[in-house]
């Protein structure tokens, strides 16, 4: 077995375990946050404060009988959860975890990610069509329509970042947003100015922290971030855009016929998708694995909370910041879900085509201009 | 339709964003107050109506809001005080009380309020699955032996277990009492018949003499 293959397998297994852990935590958090928002207690029985609830739910699902409806298209039905999860899992390959840890430092990381996230749609259609159930088909069609539509504002928002950073490499985009920028080969001569404006002549390359995050480098990217975040909610079928899964009208949408292990896989894919889009939002807009604390004169907070590249402390700091920011976004996703009611289909499409798409198009233009002022 | 909507709501961008943020604020406030919890206090507690924030759920089997001493829940019959008068069974609107009495052959004592007991309760069953918890039986009870307790959590897996047996006699004992009564009745009848015969004999003899 070649070495790179072995390394790949280790990375995949590590990634799946990490995903399982984070999905279990998110599922538990979802129930607890929902309960607290609604003045309830949530799970309390399994383990201290019900912490084992999500884990035990997974174990229960794995023990269940594997049911495939008699009239279902057995192959499509059986492979759909695998296709969906595989598509999401593949997306994690290009996610930089720390300055020195990244499964695949692909040159076209952003492009690859957009393509991979779209693959999810195939799994959805397979599940919906294969179930041979009218609710499942309706849910799948709605879901596909929604995801494909929302890829446009999301893609344009990401394009804004790509234009500002002049790179499709997620690791390079990460380096650009912090004090380590000049340590990335090819960026040695670059300088970060406050708000990206060279005319202001405020060099923040060594100040780092929040001042070099993309949403500060180009303040209008904050709008792009909001649009990307809302679009990503629609892409992973989260409330208030959970029309495909609308419990009250479609029972559960495309996964109405699924149970046991296959449902667990769909559930895993869905929550992994949440994690993935949050990670992408953090990497592109919120400074990736960079610390939010800037160097202020002799108080070099940014240096202290970053470490030297390649050392353990640096890796731990970077992973901590990345995950902390991702958790914050995940919390926001849950928070939004338990605050807003579901949109109607026409409202959803109105928001996408008549609001977000024009705004992002203007933003792309603005980013082009801004880039000219940055150099 | 469109005009109606635009008249009723302010659909401007900033008012919509403001409304969305208000919603988010509302839910986060509830989330942040999740460290407070409702106390399982009695209704007479001054704090009972003053807990407007925090979680409202009680972890029921472990904690519950206390019920009054006079709560109208599960029935209990203190059989030692019961004179088996059958009033409760007669007033019951759903016929959930079943009583079968046996006349006592000997002195069986008095109840705690001094009423003389004259009947054994061979059967005193209350079917709490049928009971409508109206409390009529407790009001008619002359010796106050039938009461409602504050126990309300008594589910059973078998509906037969919802029938509560209050008699202090086992079926064998009841049978024995019944036999004793029959025997006594027979003896009484015998004695009566003997007395009658004796009287007839006497009148006959009188006639002769």
**pLDDT reading at A59 higher than 80:** yes
Question: Are residues A141 and A36 part of one domain?
Answer: no
Let me know whether A285 and A308 are in one domain: yes
Identify the residue among B9, B34, B38 best suited for mutation to test binding to A, counting A beta carbons within 10 A and taking the highest. B34
User: How would DSSP label each residue in B179-193?
Assistant: HHHHHHHHHHHHHHH
Residues of chain A contacting B2 with CB distance shorter than 8 Å: none
Closest to B102 measured CA to CA, from B44, B40, B22, B180: B180
Least reliable range by pLDDT among A156-165, B59-68, B86-95 = B59-68
B31, B54, B57 ranked by CB distance to A37: nearest = B31
Phi, psi of B95 (to 5 degrees): 50, 50
How confident is the model at residue B4, as a pLDDT? 52
Q: Kindly state whether residues A53 and A75 are assigned to the same domain.
A: no
Place of tokens 């004796």: B198
Based on the fold, state whether residues A223 and A167 are members of the same structural domain: yes
Round the average pLDDT of chain A to a whole number and report it. Answer: 85
Of residues B54 and B196, more confidence is placed in B196
Q: What's the structural domain count of chain A?
A: 2
Confidence at residue B209, expressed as pLDDT on a 0 to 100 scale: 60
d(CA B34, CA A366): 43
From A36, A63, A90, the end of a domain falls on A63
- Chain B residues closer than 8 Å to A222 by CB: none
Where is the domain boundary, A41, A63, A85?
Answer: A63
**Residue B115: what pLDDT?**
83
In 3D, which of A275, A273, A253 has the Cα closest to residue A127?
Answer: A253
Chain B contact set for A38 (CB, 8 A): 30
B191 inside 8 A of chain A by CB: no
Among A36, A41, A336, the residue with its CB nearest the CB of B30 is A36
pLDDT at res. A358: 93
Given pLDDT bands bounded at 50, 70 and 90, which one contains residue B21? Answer: very high
pLDDT at A215: 87
pLDDT of A252 > 80? The answer is: no
User: Are the Cβ atoms of A40 and B26 closer than 8 angstroms?
Assistant: no
Measure B28 CA to nearest chain A CA, in Å.
7
Is the complex ipTM more than 0.85? Answer: no
> Measured between CB atoms, does B27 come within 8 Å of chain A?
yes
Q: Assess whether A243 and A278 both reside in one domain.
A: yes
Give the domain range for residue A52: 1-63
pLDDT value for B7 = 56
pLDDT digits (tens, 9 = 90+) for B149-193: 888 888 889 999 999 998 888 888 888 888 888 888 888 898 999
Residue A246 pLDDT grade (very low, low, confident, very high; cuts 50, 70, 90)? low
Together in a domain, A76 and A45: no
How far apart CA A178 and CA B3 sit, in angstroms, is 51
The distance of Cα B32 from the centroid of its chain, to the nearest Å, equals 43
Same domain, A98 and A51: no
Query: What pLDDT is attached to residue A362?
Result: 94
B195 reaches A (C-beta below 8 A):
no
Considering the domain architecture, whether residues A143 and A284 belong to the same structural domain is answered as: yes
Residues forming a β-bridge with A193: A203
Q: Could you tell me which residue, B90 or B52, shows the higher pLDDT?
A: B90
Residues in chain B within 8 Å Cβ distance of A37 = 27, 30-31
A55, A107: one domain: no
Q: Are A174 and A36 members of one domain?
A: no
Mean pLDDT of A106-133: 86
Which range has the worst mean pLDDT, A356-360, B104-108, B185-189?
A: B104-108
Q: Which residues contact A42 (CB under 8 A, 6 or more apart)?
A: A31, A32, A34, A35, A36, A50
Are A37 and B27 a contacting pair, CB within 8 Å?
yes
Helices (H), A195-259: 214-217, 221-235, 247-250
Say yes or no: A101 and A190 in one domain.
yes
Residue-wise pLDDT tens digits, A284-328? 998 888 888 888 878 878 778 787 877 888 888 888 999 999 999
CB distance from B55 to chain A under 8 Å? yes
Residue among B1, B31, B32 with most chain A CBs within 10 A, to mutate: B31
B contacts of A339 (beta carbons < 8 Å) = 23-24, 26-27
Domain final residue, candidates A63, A84, A105: A63
pLDDT tens per residue across span A183-239:
877 777 777 788 877 777 788 778 878 888 888 888 888 999 999 999 999 888 887
What is the pTM (predicted TM-score) of this model?
A: 0.81
The distance of A362 to chain B (nearest Cα, Å) reads 17
Buried b (16+ CB within 10 A) or exposed e, A279-296: bbbbbbbbbbbbbbbbbe
Nearest Cβ partner of A44 from B23, B31, B59?
B59
- Position A167 scores a pLDDT of 87
Q: How far is CA B30 from CA A39, B37, B125, B137, in A?
A: 7, 12, 50, 47
In this structure, the answer to whether residues A98 and A230 fall within a common structural domain is: yes
Tokens, residue A362: 């203007």
- Please provide the DSSP assignment of B90-123 as one string: HH-TT--EEEEEEE-SS---B-TTSPBP-EEEEE
């Amino acid at each position: 077995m070649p070495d790179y293959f072995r390394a790949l397998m280790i990375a995949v297994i590590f990634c799946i375990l990490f995903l399982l852990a984070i999905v279990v935590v998110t599922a538990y958090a979802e129930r607890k946050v929902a309960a607290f928002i609604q003045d309830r207690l949530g799970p309390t029985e399994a383990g201290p404060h019900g912490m084992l609830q999500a884990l035990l739910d997974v174990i229960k699902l794995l023990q269940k009988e594997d049911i495939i409806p008699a009239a279902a298209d057995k192959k499509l039905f059986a492979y759909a959860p695998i296709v969906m999860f595989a598509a999401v899992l593949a997306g994690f390959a290009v996610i930089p975890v720390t300055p020195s840890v990244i499964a695949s430092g692909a040159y076209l990381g952003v492009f690859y990610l957009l393509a991979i996230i779209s693959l999810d749609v195939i799994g959805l259609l397979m599940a919906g069509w294969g179930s041979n159930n009218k609710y499942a088909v309706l849910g799948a069609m709605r879901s596909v329509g929604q995801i494909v539509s929302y890829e446009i504002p999301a893609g344009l928002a990401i394009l804004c970042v790509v234009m500002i950073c002049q790179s499709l490499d997620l690791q390079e985009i990460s380096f650009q947003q912090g004090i380590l920028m000049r340590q990335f080969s090819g960026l040695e001569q670059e300088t970060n100015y406050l708000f990206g404006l060279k005319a202001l002549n405020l060099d923040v390359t060594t100040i780092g922290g929040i001042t070099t995050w993309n949403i500060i480098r180009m303040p209008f990217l904050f709008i792009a971030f909001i649009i990307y975040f809302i679009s990503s909610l629609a892409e992973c079928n989260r409330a208030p855009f959970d029309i495909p899964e609308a419990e009250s009208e479609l029972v559960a949408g495309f996964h109405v016929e699924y149970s046991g292990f296959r449902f667990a896989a769909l559930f895993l894919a869905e929550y992994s998708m949440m994690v993935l889009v949050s990670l992408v939002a953090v990497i592109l807009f919120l400074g990736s694995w960079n610390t939010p604390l800037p160097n202020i004169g002799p108080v070099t907070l940014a240096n202290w909370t970053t470490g030297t590249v390649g050392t353990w402390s640096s890796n731990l700091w970077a992973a901590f910041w990345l995950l902390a920011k991702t958790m914050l976004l995940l919390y926001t996703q849950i928070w939004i879900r338990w605050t807003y009611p579901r949109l109607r289909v026409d409202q959803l499409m109105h928001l996408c085509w008549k609001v977000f798409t024009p705004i992002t198009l203007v933003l792309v233009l603005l980013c082009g201009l801004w880039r000219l002022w940055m150099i | 339709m469109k005009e109606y909507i635009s008249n009723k709501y302010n659909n401007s961008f900033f008012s919509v964003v403001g409304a969305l943020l208000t919603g988010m604020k509302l839910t986060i406030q509830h989330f942040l107050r999740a460290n407070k919890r409702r106390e399982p206090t009695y209704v007479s507690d001054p704090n009972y109506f003053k807990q407007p924030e925090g979680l409202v759920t009680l972890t029921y089997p472990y904690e519950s809001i206390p019920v009054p001493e006079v709560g109208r829940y599960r029935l209990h019959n203190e059989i030692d005080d019961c004179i088996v008068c059958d009033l409760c069974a007669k007033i019951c609107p759903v016929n959930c009380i079943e009583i079968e009495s046996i006349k006592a052959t000997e002195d069986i004592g008095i109840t705690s309020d001094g009423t003389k007991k004259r009947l054994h309760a061979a059967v005193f069953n209350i079917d709490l699955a049928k009971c409508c918890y109206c409390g009529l039986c407790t009001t008619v009870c002359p010796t106050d032996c039938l009461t409602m307790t504050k126990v309300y959590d008594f589910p059973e897996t078998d509906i037969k277990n919802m029938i509560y047996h209050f008699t202090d006699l086992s079926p064998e004992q009841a049978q024995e009492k019944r036999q004793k009564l029959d025997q006594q009745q027979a003896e009484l009848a015998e004695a009566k018949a003997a007395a009658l015969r004796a009287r007839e004999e006497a009148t006959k003899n009188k006639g002769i003499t």
